[in-house]
């Protein structure tokens, strides 16, 4: 039986429309701005939501107004049979699109099957075009494979975006090269400011290479960029186009220009916690409630109540000078 149509709305009148579902905390990379360097404590298998549990919860979220799903991790493609999950979510009424965020190492072989299962879009993470630097950042070799995955995703008809975390002194000298990649391929490159969600505890505000610094560097070396005429207000990436119309860039300035007031995203972690904000910790334990036999209506009421307590977000942390390393661990909550 379908429960009555309602919305997930918080005290700031923000309505949740996008759900990011982490399917695993495990990853086949060790990016310094995300994963702990040593002694990573993985979730036990019994702690991780089954596909059946994820599908049930997604159906409830959809009935509460969620329209868009993004599958994340860790690295979501290390979880077997992810195509089956995507296919099942595709069948849920009211879900309009399904995306995937991946590091690209395993994507090349799965591109066709993911598209066939119902995937609409993919965001592929890449922080350097230099082989040695790629390995320094990720801990593994595989640059060629990731680049091949980017082109393969486009070839099979997926909407493709590139996610690039820019860290001062690491890869800020490659911003222009990434901008030229966007111009030459037609793929949107989204530059992300370094956030305090790192497992290694290295975040410092002086490592944040700001959106304005990126734009200045791009305009100095390539040419003028202008805000795109059409913007989705709730998306974190603000789009810019070059004045000659060739190439589109996105900027996610979470630290220097937080977008909390337009946020419409929520998260379900792989161990069954509901996060109303990227910086919420520990969130709300939905899994235990679910496994104790809660009905769909009881789960829906729990989600509605949790959403009503959503805080403002990173903007409030910035105001009180509350940014510090390890505010949350990205690999455990989904990017």
Residue range 63-115, pLDDT digits in tens: 999 999 999 999 999 999 999 999 999 999 999 999 999 999 999 999 999 99
Mean pLDDT to the nearest integer, 213-241: 90
> What's the rounded mean pLDDT across residues 317-323?
79
The most confident of the ranges 25-29, 184-188, 194-198 is 184-188
In the predicted structure, residue 3 carries a pLDDT above the cut 60: no
Find the mean pLDDT for residues 239-264.
Answer: 93
- CATH number for the domain spanning 104: value is 3.20.20.70
C-alpha–C-alpha distance, residues 226 and 156, integer Å: 30
What pLDDT band is residue 167 in, cutting at 50, 70 and 90? very high
Domain range for 152: 18-333
| Residue 2 domain-assigned (yes or no) | no
Confidence at residue 318, expressed as pLDDT on a 0 to 100 scale: 80
Tell me, yes or no, whether 290 lies in a domain.
Answer: yes
More confident residue, 292 or 333: 292
Contact 294, 173 (CB under 8 A): no
> Whole-model pTM?
0.94
Could you give the number of structural domains in the chain?
Answer: 1
Check pLDDT > 60 for residue 4: no
- Is 6 within the bounds of a domain? no
Residue 219 placed within a domain:
yes
| Domain contains 271 | yes
> Using an 8 Å Cβ cutoff, are 15 and 68 in contact?
no
DSSP track, 255-307: TTS--GGG--EEEE-TTSEEESSTT-SS-EEHHHHHHTT--HHHHHHHHHHHH
| Residue 10 domain flag | no
Predicted confidence (pLDDT) per residue in 256-294, tens digit: 999 999 999 999 999 999 999 988 888 999 999 999 999
What's the mean per-residue pLDDT of the chain? 92
User: Does 4 reside within a domain?
Assistant: no
> Do the domain assignments include residue 7?
no
Task: Give the pLDDT of residue 317.
Answer: 82
């Amino acid at each position: 039986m379908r429960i009555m149509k309602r919305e997930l709305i918080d005290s700031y009148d923000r309505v949740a429309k996008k759900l990011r579902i982490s399917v695993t905390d495990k990853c086949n990379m060790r990016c310094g701005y995300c994963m702990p360097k040593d002694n990573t404590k993985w979730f036990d298998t019994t702690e991780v939501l089954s596909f059946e549990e994820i599908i049930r919860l997604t159906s409830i979220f959809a009935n509460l107004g969620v329209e868009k799903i993004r599958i994340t991790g860790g690295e979501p493609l290390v979880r077997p049979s992810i195509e089956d999950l995507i296919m099942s979510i595709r069948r849920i009424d009211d879900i309009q699109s399904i995306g995937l965020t991946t590091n690209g190492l395993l994507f090349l072989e799965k591109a066709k099957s993911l598209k066939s299962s119902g995937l609409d879009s993919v965001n592929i993470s890449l922080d350097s075009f230099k082989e040695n630097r790629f390995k320094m950042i990720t801990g593994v070799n595989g640059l060629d494979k990731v680049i091949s995955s980017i082109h393969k995703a486009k070839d099979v008809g997926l909407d493709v975006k590139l996610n690039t975390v820019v860290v001062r002194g690491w890869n800020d000298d490659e911003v222009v090269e990434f901008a030229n990649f966007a111009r030459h391929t037609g793929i949107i490159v989204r530059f992300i400011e370094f956030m305090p969600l790192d497992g290694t505890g290295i975040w410092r505000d002086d490592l944040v290479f700001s959106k304005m610094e990126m734009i200045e560097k791009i305009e100095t070396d390539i040419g003028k960029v202008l805000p795109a005429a059409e913007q989705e207000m709730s998306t974190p990436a603000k789009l810019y186009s070059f004045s000659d119309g060739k190439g589109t860039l996105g900027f996610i300035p979470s630290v220097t220009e937080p977008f909390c007031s337009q946020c419409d995203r929520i998260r379900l972690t792989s161990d069954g916690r509901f996060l109303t904000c990227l910086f919420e910790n520990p969130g709300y334990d939905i899994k235990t409630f679910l496994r104790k036999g809660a009905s769909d209506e009881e789960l829906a009421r729990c989600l509605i109540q949790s959403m009503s307590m959503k805080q403002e977000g990173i903007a409030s942390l910035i105001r009180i000078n509350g940014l510090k390393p390890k505010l949350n661990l990205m690999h455990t909550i989904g990017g």
